[in-house]
Amino acid sequence: MTTCETITPLLDEFIDGTLSLDQQAEVQRHLAGCPDCCSEVVALRDLLGLARVLPRSVPPERNLWDGIAPRLSPVRSRVRGPLQLRALRIAAALGLLLTGAGLASLWYYRISPHDFATQARRYDAASTTLAEALARDAGTLPPATRAVVERNLAIVDAAIREAENALRTDPGNAALEQMLVVRYEQRLALLRRAGATGRES
Amino acid sequence: MNETVRRAQQGDPTAFRVVYETHVGRVYALCLRLCGDRMEAEEHTQDVFVRAWQRLDGFRGESAFSTWLHRLAVNQVLQAQRAAGRRAARVSMADPAELAERAPTPTPAAPSDLEGAIAALPEGARTVFVLHDLEGYQHDEIAELSGIAEGTSKAQLHRARQLLREALNR
């Protein structure tokens, strides 16, 4: 025999439809004989009914755009086409040949540890410059070293892709952004080491 | 992907203005209900659109743009609340009187009784109610977004609903 004390904690999930079938049946059986719990259910449904008719959109009382527009820094075209992406991938694969120390320094004088957008742009700039440098300095790493660097780059790139994908579904998540920045740093450090090795060999 | 969003992604501020006009009401409503304070909601809304501009290249059209933008807004408000909570914790160790002064004073945001009652909820209960009952998030998502346990999210929802019913019955 169920009591109101055992049923009451289930009523929220009952009206949300998230109880198991067994629990749902148990609540329904109790409701059939309990006017007090029935009233609870009706009151909860009324509340959710009110919530459903709240306007989805509420215009702000003042113009907010004036406080936004001055903060929109100009950006170059940010969407990469397939050719650009392919060029960057090739650049990454050839990253072993890179004179990377200078590029990594682009990363290390970043403005603020909390400004993900700035850091992402710096990383992006480093990658673009890298692609240009690669075309000039190809072929300076020993094959065995190159294979090791390629494998490590693939691991870091996979981690970067994973974090970027997660950020696409959860934009602005600070923990993910922090994780991604660490991966960017790892990748640039790897390129820098590879570049230094290439110059020494 | 919507052509206006695509142009904004390419750095066109005029297109981004259109994006703003299209979505500002929905983003503002979300921020207002999450934080319960009009001025704070206005600041959050502005920050959300600035962040959206900075992160537009991360939007690939895999979900609706509004979904992406609203998630950004939720993260913006919750992160600010967590930061404010940390500041309040520091203040409370140093000066309890100052903490009392800084305690938010909910301002009823809209004429509806329910809007005012939502704004007056304690922060944790308000966050869960808005995300679950108004925005349709599940408890596991709320737990992840807010950094709380799923059970805590359920308990906060129960508390929020009880408090709202009491407020509306007064």
pLDDT tens, residue by residue, B3-52:
999 999 999 999 999 999 999 999 999 999 999 999 999 999 999 999 99
CA-CA distances (angstroms) from residue A47 to A2, B113, B122, B149, B165?
26, 11, 18, 25, 7
Select the residue from B12, B22, B35, B57 to test the A interface by mutation, using most A Cβ atoms within 10 A: B57
A127: nearest Cα among A198, A191, A69, A197: A191
Size of interface A-B (CB pairs under 8 A): 119
Q: What is the mean pLDDT of chain B?
A: 86
Residue window 23-62, chain A: list those with CB within 8 Å of chain B: 43-44, 47-48, 50-51, 54-62
Global ipTM = 0.80
Q: B105 by DSSP, 3-state: which?
A: coil
pTM as predicted = 0.67
Q: Is A181:A116 a contact under the CB 8 Å cutoff?
A: yes
- What is d(CA B82, CA B144) in angstroms, rounded to the nearest whole number? 13
- What is d(CA B30, CA A171) in angstroms, rounded to the nearest whole number? 16
- pLDDT at position A98 is 44
Chain B residue at shortest CA distance from A164: B58
Give CB contacts under 8 A, 24+ apart, made by B81-85. B81/B34, B81/B35, B81/B123, B81/B127, B82/B147
pLDDT per residue as tens, chain A (201 positions): 689 999 999 999 999 999 999 999 999 999 999 999 999 999 999 999 999 999 999 999 999 999 999 999 876 455 555 545 544 555 555 554 444 444 444 445 444 445 777 777 778 777 767 766 655 665 777 777 777 777 777 788 888 888 888 887 788 887 788 788 888 877 777 777 777 666 666
Q: What is the residue whose two structure tokens read 């919507």?
A: B2
Determine the average pLDDT of the residues in B127-149.
Answer: 95
Q: Do B13 and A72 touch (CB under 8 A)?
A: yes
Give B-chain residues touching A56 at CB under 8 angstroms: 26, 29
Q: Is A105:B39 a contact under the CB 8 Å cutoff?
A: no
Chain B residue at shortest CA distance from A66: B46
Q: What is the residue whose two structure tokens read 């190159």?
A: A146
- What is d(CA A97, CA B138) in angstroms, rounded to the nearest whole number? 48
- What is d(CA A82, CA A138) in angstroms, rounded to the nearest whole number? 23
Give B-chain residues touching A55 at CB under 8 angstroms: 29, 110
User: Which residue among B71, B134, B158 places its CB closest to the CB of A171?
Assistant: B71
Q: How far is B75 from chain A (nearest CA, A)?
A: 6
Name residues whose C-beta falls within 8 Å of residue A114's C-beta, 6 or more positions apart in sequence.
none
